[in-house]
Structure 1
Amino acid sequence: MNLFSEIRARVLDALNELVSEGVLPEGLDYANVAVEPPRDPAHGDMATNAAMVLAKPARMKPRDIAEALAAKLGDDARIAGAEVAGPGFLNMRLVPDVWHGLVRDVIAAGLDYGKSGMGQGLKVNVEFVSANPTGPMHVGHTRGAVFGDALARLLDVAGYDVTREYYINDGGAQVDVLARSAYERYREANGLSPEIAEGLYPGDYLIPVGEALKEKYGDSLLNKPEADWLAEVRAFATEAMMQMIRDDLALLGVTMDVYSSEKALYGTGKIEAALAELEKQGLIYQGVLEPPKGKTPEDWEPREQTLFRSTAHGDDVDRPVKKSDGSWTYFAPDIAYHWDKVSRGFDMLIDIFGADHGGYVKRMKAAVAALSGGRVPLDIKLIQLVKLYKNGEPFKMSKRAGTFVTLRDVVEQAGADVTRFVMLTRKNDAALDFDFDKVLEQSKDNPVFYVQYAHARVCSVLRKAAEIGIDTSDAALAGADLHLLTHTAELELARKIAEWPRLVEIAARGHEPHRVAFYLYELASDLHAHWTRGNDDTSLRFIQDGDVTTSQAKIALARAVAVVISSGLAILGVTPVEEMR
């Protein structure tokens, strides 16, 4: 049930009636006609911009359209009044029965309230994390993992068919460095001193890998030339790192549907096939790139390379796919990987990258546009950095990792639920400060506590009511006499609940799960404010002494709030609590 969509449908019907009556011309485009909460709640329950967006194509004054529309809407039993404001906005007030029915429907629907068919089952691939398999995940990966998983959950709720995918970057030189680093720990496990030269990975996390190598190979790899052990150690260490990464993701409640390997693209003809597809379109050619910015011609050594004409699809410059020595660039396997995703029949691709991949956006979008004939959109979300603080100071690096703070460090300090919620309290492209002291404090300034506390308060009401013999089952609450909810504050709380399905669709359309966290904080604030009012006005308390009928109606409102909070927290991957400890 999306009340805003229902009222918008009525607005469109009224506009069509005005067209059939000759008040409005035929052929108007209603795509930008919106029904939304008014900026000032005092102006009404909902507002539509219909008159404003249709005035120019209709060649009419906005207020004339708004007044005609208001007269039509006045016939709807749900609409108590429609008033023209300003240059032509139309504010609507709904009858109380609408809000009573909404509370009943929310309880009956449970966690299905807010689910949408907007996605129409379209297949969406969300690729996220995709960390190099060279060590444990760090705090930057943590934010990307949380964002990607929350976005996937959001799209699920909005009616898309979502695949969560991890691209294993196991085809580059970094996995050889991993193998050499693991080999030194293998030597250490055999009683020798490891030689952790500059450029190798120094973290303690490779000590167990070295011990596992010893268990498997004994001392048989010692004193052998690198060429004899590199491939085996590389495969062994890569799998060990991927198991560590899977375990780290599990700490956050993140499970991938698909793991794809970069290495699997090499020597299989897949890169060649993807480039052949581009070559058919005349987008692959031999050429010489212009000097990079900041270099004079004297500094530039021109060389002929195999280039992708990415400028044909919106990029700033063409991009090399094969070096002058015949080896692939990093871009070539990425093209092949996205060609594979297009070939698997996805209708939309979403890549979630670290902020340092900003220069990769246009070239990757160009490649997908060319490979899919413009059919498959690619949205790339960049995740900005996270700064960690504790006791007012920057949180120090992890000895275990060697150079950075790990995901495990963060989750062990703050807990998975807190970590997930806080990581979504800023938009993905904004930097985020994660202060361990603040995220664990019990105050309004801590959003995860404030939202959880609201849910726990409702649960405490349900427990107390049950203790005194009030039936608080969902069936009983949905069947309560909700006409007893008459106070303005109660109806305002119902109005906030009504925004949830609309918020889900807006957040899913924009790929912005942080909107869910913002909304939950606002809803929690409204619940807490209503609770506080009850301290002064006892008629607003959820449990009315000696009046079971009225109590059930008021508890139903609280239960509806809890349903929405639970739904929202499920999208964020956070477990709602029933009692604060």
Structure 2
Amino acid sequence: MNVFSEVEARVRAALEALKTEGVLPSDLALPEFDAEPPRDASHGDIAVNAALVLAKAAKKKPRDIADALKAKLEAHGDIQKIEVAGPGFLNITFKPEVWHGLVRDILSEGGRYGAGSSRGDGKLNVEYVSANPTGPMHVGHCRGAVFGDALANLLVFAGYDVTREYYINDAGGQVNVLARSAFLRYREALGEDIGAIPEGLYPGDYLKPVGEALAKEHGPSLINMPEERWLPIVRSIAIEKMMAMIKDDLAALNIRHDVFFSEASLQADGKDQIKAAIAELEKKGLIYEGKLEKPKGHDDDDWEDRVQTLFKSTDFGDDEDRALKKSDGTYTYFAGDVAYHYDKLSRGFRHLINVFGADHVGYIPRIKAVVAALSDKTADLDVKVVQLVRLFKAGEPYKMSKRAGTFVTLRDVVDEVGRDPVRYMMLYRKNQETLDFDFAKVTEQSKDNPVFYVQYAHARSASVLRNAVEQIPGLDVSVDVLRRADLSLLTDTGEIDLIKRLASFPRLVEGAASAHEPHRIAFYLYDLASALHSQWTRGNDSPHLRFIQSNDGVATSARLALIAATKTVIKSGLDVLGVEAPDAMR
């Protein structure tokens, strides 16, 4: 049960009744309003602002509308009291049995509690990571990878039809640099002293296995070939090996994709999807030949002081039009992105999410513009930007050893602290804020380490259930039995507070999914864990509040039902984040 959605539905039904009765104008459109926990817990369980939102359109005083709503809502037998407060808020307090029933609902629904039903608003594509296949994943990629994966998990849990996608940039100049770098390692594998790696090539030792693989497969046959012949051979193998390395790095973080889309495929096998995408824009009257002003800072690679083929990006909110073809007829880098998003739309996606690094912020308006243009504004694109990660240890900047030679890899960080701390802490900050990752803090066992604190709450819950069976022989702690416990015995303020926190989970999932903000789950779990640990501590101070009452199996069963419900929600939240929910901590 989502108590907030239930209240919203009741308020809407009451407002419709008031329209029928003539209390409100019959043609009054009902806007969105909020039904949420009040800031002050003494004001009740749920605060509703519907009367304030409607007052102007209804040409009535907010308190008059609130009084009429109160009279309608009081007919529901599970409401203990309703108060009209301030300018017209409705503060609703439920009877205790509502909260007791919620515990039963959680135990009945299990891992589906808080999950959304299948939505009928179309397929959703989440593209994340999409790092160039020129080396191992670095720590900067790590945050975007975790964010994108957790966001996809969240959306699936909320009921969306989600495809997880990785765009392989395997058609640009950087993969030719990769091929030349791999060719150098190939010569090295054949026994040649290659000396220092020339500037402009990739120096990392991670290319040595690629060179060895080339030597094993081709022997010295590539040595005497002209570059135009060996380059595509080496490039293909190098990209294959780099993608295998990247997938292995991502697997270390339990990150997966459904689709790996090759940029090179846009112009493979005799097709030219870039040409097709430009033709589609041309049919819409959005292509012309012209010159662009020099960009501020001169940082636009597609700029040149000659006539080019341009897209009317400014018609869709961009600050300038964008080049698709250079003056020599070759496609710009942006043209490939246009074709890629055209392909997404052609595959039936109408909801797109791209996860970008902080260095791609300036690229957002043009991508949004082309999606709007190609879809005639029927598709939406949300670009989530993840900011930088700074590494610390015990509060001091940390320069760990670099396996890649020039940068800290994702695998370096995972091997140092483990998958769960990396995933949780990459989400324990809003994506648009810089994240400080402290290697000492994410491994300490304290309240100041969120991942430990939340995982410990799950492990503590499991421990309580195990210990109850040991202390009270014959006690059945199965879900079927616990949901039939006498939950009316849950009367302590701490117990009710814990239930109310559980009640907010479905609303939180819905809001986080709608806003594309998985960090809300991480924050929520920490607060929920804090409430559980707090109630445990209260039991240490006041024995009658302990979860296990050795001489009272009935009271124990009621509290174990609450513990089992809390454990269920913590696991669901950790599953969304891609973090393990352990039953014991070592």
Alignment partner of 1:412 out of 396, 411, 415: 415
Separation in structure 2 between the aligned mates of residue 83 and residue 48 of structure 1, nearest angstrom: 11
Write the mapping of 1:66-465 to structure 2, written as runs, cut at 5 A: 66-117=66-117, 119-120=119-120, 122-195=122-195, 196-266=197-267, 268-293=271-296, 302-396=305-399, 398-465=401-468
242 and 398 in structure 1: CA distance in 2 versus 1, 3 angstrom threshold? farther
1:545 and 2:550 equivalent?
yes
Separation in structure 2 between the aligned mates of residue 301 and residue 310 of structure 1, nearest angstrom: 17
Deviations 1:516-548 (A, max 9, x none): 000001101111111111112222211112111
119 and 427 in structure 1: CA distance in 2 versus 1, 3 angstrom threshold? farther
Alignment partner of 1:495 out of 497, 500, 523: 500
Deviations 1:347-375 (A, max 9, x none): 20111111111111110011001111111
Alignment partner of 2:528 out of 523, 529, 540: 523
Deviations 1:112-168 (A, max 9, x none): 000112733631000000000000001111111110110111110111110000000
Q: What residue ranges of structure 2 are gaps of 5+ in the alignment?
A: none
SS state at 1:327 partner: coil
Which residue of structure 1 lines up, in the alignment, with residue 515 of structure 2?
510
SS state at 2:420 partner: helix
Q: CA deviation at 1:103?
A: 0.2
Quick one: which amino acid aligns to residue 219 of structure 1? Answer: P
Q: CA deviation at 1:392?
A: 4.1
Quick one: which amino acid aligns to residue 344 of structure 1? Answer: R
Q: CA deviation at 1:294?
A: 5.8
RMSD value over aligned CA atoms?
A: 1.4
SS state at 1:30 partner: coil
Q: CA deviation at 1:291?
A: 3.0
Separation in structure 2 between the aligned mates of residue 577 and residue 255 of structure 1, nearest angstrom: 22
Separation in structure 1 between the aligned mates of residue 549 and residue 583 of structure 2, nearest angstrom: 22
State percent identity of aligned pairs: 63
Deviations 1:541-565 (A, max 9, x none): 1111211111000111111111100
Separation in structure 1 between the aligned mates of residue 554 and residue 432 of structure 2, nearest angstrom: 49
Q: CA deviation at 1:67?
A: 1.4
Q: Which sits farther off after the overlay, 148-157 or 214-223? A: 214-223
Q: CA deviation at 1:458?
A: 0.6
Q: TM-score, normalised by structure 1?
A: 0.97
Q: CA deviation at 1:36?
A: 0.8
Q: CA deviation at 1:400?
A: 2.8
Separation in structure 2 between the aligned mates of residue 412 and residue 50 of structure 1, nearest angstrom: 52
31 and 153 in structure 1: CA distance in 2 versus 1, 3 angstrom threshold? farther
Q: CA deviation at 1:301?
A: 6.9
Separation in structure 2 between the aligned mates of residue 461 and residue 399 of structure 1, nearest angstrom: 43
301 and 215 in structure 1: CA distance in 2 versus 1, 3 angstrom threshold? closer
Separation in structure 2 between the aligned mates of residue 94 and residue 301 of structure 1, nearest angstrom: 67
321 and 398 in structure 1: CA distance in 2 versus 1, 3 angstrom threshold? farther
Q: Is the 8 A contact 2:403 2:412 kept in 1?
A: no
SS state at 1:90 partner: strand
Deviations 1:243-298 (A, max 9, x none): 00111111111111011111111252210110111001110100111232368xxx
Q: CA deviation at 1:219?
A: 1.8
Deviations 1:26-54 (A, max 9, x none): 23333322211111112110011101100
225 and 252 in structure 1: CA distance in 2 versus 1, 3 angstrom threshold? same
Separation in structure 2 between the aligned mates of residue 413 and residue 137 of structure 1, nearest angstrom: 15
Write the mapping of 1:43-54 to structure 2, written as runs, cut at 5 A: 43-54=43-54
Separation in structure 2 between the aligned mates of residue 465 and residue 368 of structure 1, nearest angstrom: 57
Separation in structure 2 between the aligned mates of residue 185 and residue 48 of structure 1, nearest angstrom: 67
Equivalent residue pairs, number = 577
Q: CA deviation at 1:88?
A: 1.1
Q: What residue ranges of structure 1 are gaps of 5+ in the alignment?
A: none
Q: Is the 8 A contact 1:569 1:575 kept in 2?
A: yes
Q: CA deviation at 1:580?
A: 1.4
Quick one: which amino acid aligns to residue 16 of structure 1? Answer: E
Q: Which sits farther off after the overlay, 537-546 or 558-567? A: 537-546
234 and 50 in structure 1: CA distance in 2 versus 1, 3 angstrom threshold? same
Separation in structure 2 between the aligned mates of residue 390 and residue 508 of structure 1, nearest angstrom: 33
Q: Is the 8 A contact 1:120 1:159 kept in 2?
A: no
Q: Which sits farther off after the overlay, 40-49 or 386-395? A: 386-395
Q: Is the 8 A contact 1:44 1:93 kept in 2?
A: yes
